[in-house]
Amino acid sequence: EAGVAQSPRYKIIEKRQSVAFWCNPISGHATLYWYQQILGQGPKLLIQFQNNGVVDDSQLPKDRFSAERLKGVDSTLKIQPAKLEDSAVYLCASSLEGDNQPQHFGDGTRLSIL
């Protein structure tokens, strides 16, 4: 089966610019997650979708980050405006419905803010 697809793989922007990331989950996976992974740390959940509805966005900095999953499949994560501290790898994951289901991760987008 095809895995979670993410693009772009790398992005370099200047602070205060905007950036968007795209994710296509594994076919049939209703649950989609966006994580932020700062170098040397474990991933931190930003937002969780169940189909096209938001389940948890408590750790999403909503003044600058937004995410959508309009048709319950693909998702985009946007940062506007970017800050230096947003430099990280942004990982998308998907899973079947259920809290005991493992999450399957894409290879991520490495974002560098200059």
Partner 1 sequence: AQSVAQPEDQVNVAEGNPLTVKCTYSVSGNPYLFWYVQYPNRGLQFLLKYITGDNLVKGSYGFEAEFNKSQTSFHLKKPSALVSDSALYFCAVRDVANDYKLSFGAGTTVTVRA
The residues binding partner 1 (CB under 8 A) are 4, 6, 33, 40-45, 48, 56, 91, 93, 99-100, 102-108, 110
Residues 6 or more apart whose Cβ sits within 8 Å of residue 31: 48, 49, 50, 55, 94, 95, 96, 97, 101
Separate counts of helices (H) and strands (E) for the chain: 0, 11
Using the minimum distance from each CB to partner 1, give the nearer residue, 41 or 71. 41
CB closer to partner 1 out of 6 and 65:
6
Nearer to partner 1 (CB atom), residue 42 or residue 71: 42
Helix H or strand E segment including 94: strand 88-95
What is the rounded CA–CA span in Å between residue 54 and residue 103? 17
Minimum CB–partner distance for residue 23 and partner 1 (Å): 11
In the complex, least distance from residue 51 CB atom to partner 1, rounded to whole angstroms: 17
CB closer to partner 1, 58 vs 70: 58
The nearest distance, CB 100 to partner 1, in angstroms, is: 5
d(CA 30, CA 65): 22
